[in-house]
Amino acid sequence: MLKTAKHSRRERLSRQTQALRYLLRLVVSFSRPDDILAAYLRRPLRGFSFRAGMEQLMRESLANSTGANEPGNGEIVRRVRAVLDWLDGTGDGARNPFEVLGIGRLATLEAIHARYRALSKRVHPDRHGAVRQDYWRARQEAINEAYRILSNPQQRARCLADMEKRNYLLQRLWEIENSIG
């Protein structure tokens, strides 16, 4: 009995190690978070949490980091952090310009322009005291970026496609990890 318990523990550690190596190969092979997740979804690991695996990969990469001796390790940490941010909806490409402007996806160009002007007037840093200038400046930049994307038809179409892809990937991950699909 003791041998089998020891053997199953060793086997479980081995599966965990194999899973982390698999995630590491994906992180090294792909640079964009959505590409990493899409590759994982082509061959998911049953009974394994993608997020937990990424978090463990981050911890181990930071723990094994020796600084200048491993130039690739910093890139791995950056990519894993980008994946985690993307999963949380806080990373690059995850910010929803429609939410930033507070409009629906079917808004017309005129409605986008009117909302942009109204928000810009309200949050412009010059209208507020010097206490929270950084906050108002960041808010204004987010509004400007959202307007830049939504006022250009090609960028708006690409943004909608990216949002659709993101929703699909997250839904598929949820289904796999909860054994629905």
More confident residue, 118 or 64: 118
**Residue 181: pLDDT over 60:** no
Instruction: Provide φ and ψ at 40, rounded to 5°.
Output: -65, -40
Does domain 97-150 match CATH 1.10.287?
yes
* pTM for this entry: 0.71
What residues does CATH 1.10.287 cover in the chain? 97-150
CA angle 115, 170, 172 (to 5 degrees): 140
Residue 157: both structure tokens together: 């179409």
Q: How far apart are CA 129 and CA 132, in angstroms?
A: 7
pLDDT grade for 14, boundaries at 50, 70 and 90: confident
- Give the number of other Cβ atoms within 10 Å of residue 112's Cβ: 20
Of 102, 115, 98, 104, the closest CA to residue 150 belongs to 98
